[in-house]
Chain A
Amino acid sequence: MSLFSAMAVSASGLAAQRTRAELLVENLANAETTRTPEGGPYRRKDAVFASQPMAPSFSSLLESHLQEGVAVQEISVDMRDPERRYLPGHPDAGPDGYVAFPRINPAEDMVDLLGASRGFEANVAAVSSVKDMIMRSIDLFK
């Protein structure tokens, strides 16, 4: 049944949007983080999406490749210079009294988070619609 592969496509959308939301939440949580294992302040991360043909399942080998799922192709790290704030008392302050803070704008992350949340909801709607169609097909037996 080809409808199950439509669910796989929507599931890939759900996974991608969830990954994006996780990164955005991580950015918000680390908006003031000045220490990381790699050294220096935290750097903003974002997901880059790329469409990809769904892995051929047994039944779809016979069909043309109609549908494309989505996957997180890479996680881009913001390499801009950190924001410098004058805080001489801070333990991470340099000799000039400036502390490097992550260049994170919480408003930007909140807006992206809303986008990810809406994208997730749209995929949920697609799953439930396709599920309804599958149930309708099964009801033909009754």
Chain B
Amino acid sequence: MLDGLSQVLERYMDLLSSRQKLVASNIANADTPGYKTKDIDFQSEFRSALHGIAPAPIEIGGLKVRNDGNNVSMDREARLLAENGMRFNLASNLLRSRIQAVRAALQPGGNT
């Protein structure tokens, strides 16, 4: 009933929640010795997510490693946390408007 764009939005939101899980892990492990920041390559994972392939986490290089071997950057994680939340917000608003369009078509003579 919903069109192709809605399917893409659904995958996008799925991938955003996977990424948010990784951000939550990174924040939870911000003081764990030896823990390395994990993330997903969003662009390429989004392309493969359209074919139903589950995302694979990778370790992010180029971050400053502290004395205990941990390289979680709280600034980076805070930015990603906010960014993912806003992207999800945008996608869910778009998807909701698609759903409301279908609903409106289903209403008999109504203008809701």
- The interface of chain A, by Cβ under 8 A from chain B, is 2-3, 5-7, 9-10, 12-13, 16-17, 20, 48-51, 63-64, 66-70, 115-116, 119, 122-123, 125-126, 129-130, 132-133, 136-137, 139-140, 142
| Closest B residue by C-beta to A9 | B24
Q: Measured between alpha carbons, how far is A51 from B22 in the docked complex, in Å?
A: 13
| Candidates B17, B25, B55, B99; contact of A68 at CB < 8 Å | B25
9 contacts between A and B (CB under 8 A): A3-B17, A10-B27, A13-B30, A66-B57, A68-B25, A68-B29, A123-B24, A125-B81, A140-B99
Q: Measured between alpha carbons, how far is A5 from B21 in the docked complex, in Å?
A: 7
| Candidates A51, A64, A115; contact of B29 at CB < 8 Å | A51
How many residue pairs link A and B with beta carbons under 8 A? The number is 114
In the assembled complex, which residues on chain B have CB atoms less than 8 Å from the CB atom of A6?
Answer: 17, 20-21, 24
Q: Measured between alpha carbons, how far is A15 from B82 in the docked complex, in Å?
A: 23
B88 beta carbon closer than 8 Å to chain A: yes
Give the dominant DSSP class at B's interface: helix
What number of B residues sit within 8 Å (CB to CB) of A?
Answer: 37
Known: A5-B21, A140-B96. A69 touches B55 (CB 8 A): no
B31 beta carbon closer than 8 Å to chain A: yes
Q: Measured between alpha carbons, how far is A109 from B88 in the docked complex, in Å?
A: 39
| Closest B residue by C-beta to A7 | B24
B71 beta carbon closer than 8 Å to chain A: no
| Closest B residue by C-beta to A2 | B17
